Each structure stands twice: as C-alpha cells, then as structure tokens.
Amino acid sequence: MTKRVALIVAAGAGTRLAHALPKQYLALNERPLLWYSINVLSKHPSIDAVCVVLHPEDKWFAQYDWQAFDQRLHPAYCGGETRAQSVLLGLRHIGEQVSDDDWVLVHDAARPCLTRELIDRLVHELATEEVGGLLAVPAADTLKRADGARRILRTESREHLWQAQTPQMFRYALLLRALQTADLAGVTDEASAVEQLNLRPRLVAGSAENLKVTFAEDVELAALILRAQEQRASAALGGGT
C-alpha cells in the first residue's frame, strides 16, 4: 500500500516578524501556531505519519504537550539554514520509513489555516499524477515590477499566474532526486526543484484562507480565519442551527 507522509517545515526563525520567539510558536487563539498544521494533518485519514522538521537547537517544541498526536507525530531535529535544506534533510531522515513511490506532502508550519477539505482535494486530484503537484491560487491583484528604488518599471500580466501554497505533494524518490540535484539557492519551494528536472507539477486550486503568516498583522488575520472555520464546522455539525 502506498503511504502518505506529511513533512512540516518548522526550522525557521521567522525574522520578518521581528519577534524573539520563532513564529511557529507564536500564540494563535491560545495555541502555538505550529499546532494547527499538526492537528489537521495528523487527523486526516489519508495521512499515515507527520514528521516535523525542527532546527537542531530548537528549545521550544519539547515545552508543549503533543501527546494527543503521539501515534502519528515524529519530531526531527535536523533542519537546515534554508527551507530547501530543511526539506532535503527531512526527506533523508524519513528515508528508512518510506518507499520510493510513497507520497510526501510538504507543508509550511507558517500556514496554520489548512483544512481537511484542501487536503482531500490535493490527494484526490493528484492520485493518478506521475509528477505530483501543489495547492495554489490564481493571482488576483494587479502585479507591478519595481526597480531598486521601489518605483514601478511596468505592470505585469497576471494571466496564467498562480500563487504557490502548501502542501506540495510528490513521490518520495522524485522529490529527493529533485532536491539533491537542484541548485538549492534558486529553490523557493518543492515544485521549483521538480521543475529543474524539466517536469511540470500540477496546480490544484487552493484557498485564500490558506495564508502564510509572514508579518505581524498576519497573526491576527489567521486567528480570525481559524475562528470562522471553527464556526462553520460547528454549524455543519449542528445542521446549521
């Protein structure tokens, strides 16, 4: 049976937030931001295991209670200096537990608003894909290219442009080969590494709610989205009452 393993990248320092605490541990509705990604992925019936890639000197993860996820959650203190390095090291870490054809879903810890429905869609649409793919949303805003002084050089066409999200889902051996052979300096996500193999990952419709927490104001926005998601879930369970 083909397995699916989620790899949550949580080794960064979150420097753009200008906060002493790495952003994956910032309080979000009274839980660490990282908790939400672990929760949705570990509870999904299609996910067999969740590996969280942490910095080797991470001193925060062990301070939280993760017992509710013990059966599926596996911390790996092997992260690198960049996201691409952390993913590569995480893949090597799980190498003995997966086969070449198993799926790996790489997700950013900074995207706490991932839902079960988005995972369902990704798994379903990529089930018969040879290359794999990723969640993404079409670019909606007008795009401006700037010079070094932040003055507009020109307006770029947004036709056929998509904003990449996570999870990004690829077969283990393919993704490992892509990252081992790619110029990691130019790899901003897993799909870009796979593209360097002259392959074309598939875009799967994501959601604007699946935002990435990058700046301080994103934390409050994520909190609002999570509350709205909880309210919708409660209403669905109660039959809309």
Q: Which long-range contacts (CB under 8 A, 24 or more apart) does 234-241 make?
A: none
Q: Which residues contact 139 (CB under 8 A, 6 or more apart)?
A: 158, 161, 162, 163
Which tens digits make up the pLDDT trace of 155-176?
999 999 999 999 999 999 999 9
Report the pLDDT value the prediction gives residue 175, as an integer from 0 to 100: 98
As a whole number of angstroms, the distance between CA 140 and CA 168 comes to 21
Which tens digits make up the pLDDT trace of 173-201?
999 999 999 988 889 999 999 999 999 99
Helix (H, G, I), strand (E, B) or coil at 30: coil
> Is residue 83's pLDDT more than 90?
yes
Q: Work out the average pLDDT over 197-226.
A: 96
As a whole number of angstroms, the distance between CA 32 and CA 23 comes to 9
Is the whole model's pTM more than 0.95, yes or no? no
As a whole number of angstroms, the distance between CA 111 and CA 165 comes to 9
Report the pLDDT value the prediction gives residue 29, as an integer from 0 to 100: 92
> Is residue 40's pLDDT more than 60?
yes
Rg (CA), the chain: 18
Which tens digits make up the pLDDT trace of 102-146?
999 999 999 999 999 999 999 999 999 999 999 999 999 999 999
Report the pLDDT value the prediction gives residue 19, as an integer from 0 to 100: 55
Report the pLDDT value the prediction gives residue 159, as an integer from 0 to 100: 93
**Contact, 90 vs 10, CB < 8 A?**
no
Q: Which pair of tokens denotes residue 20?
A: 């002493």
Report the pLDDT value the prediction gives residue 17, as an integer from 0 to 100: 47
At the top level of CATH, the class of 4-130+164-197+207-237 is alpha beta
Torsion region of 30: left, alpha or beta (phi above 0 gives left; psi -120 to 50 gives alpha): left
Query: Can you name the residues that pair with 8 across neighbouring β-strands?
Result: 52, 107
* Per-chain mean pLDDT for the chain: 93
Q: Which pair of tokens denotes residue 182?
A: 């790619």
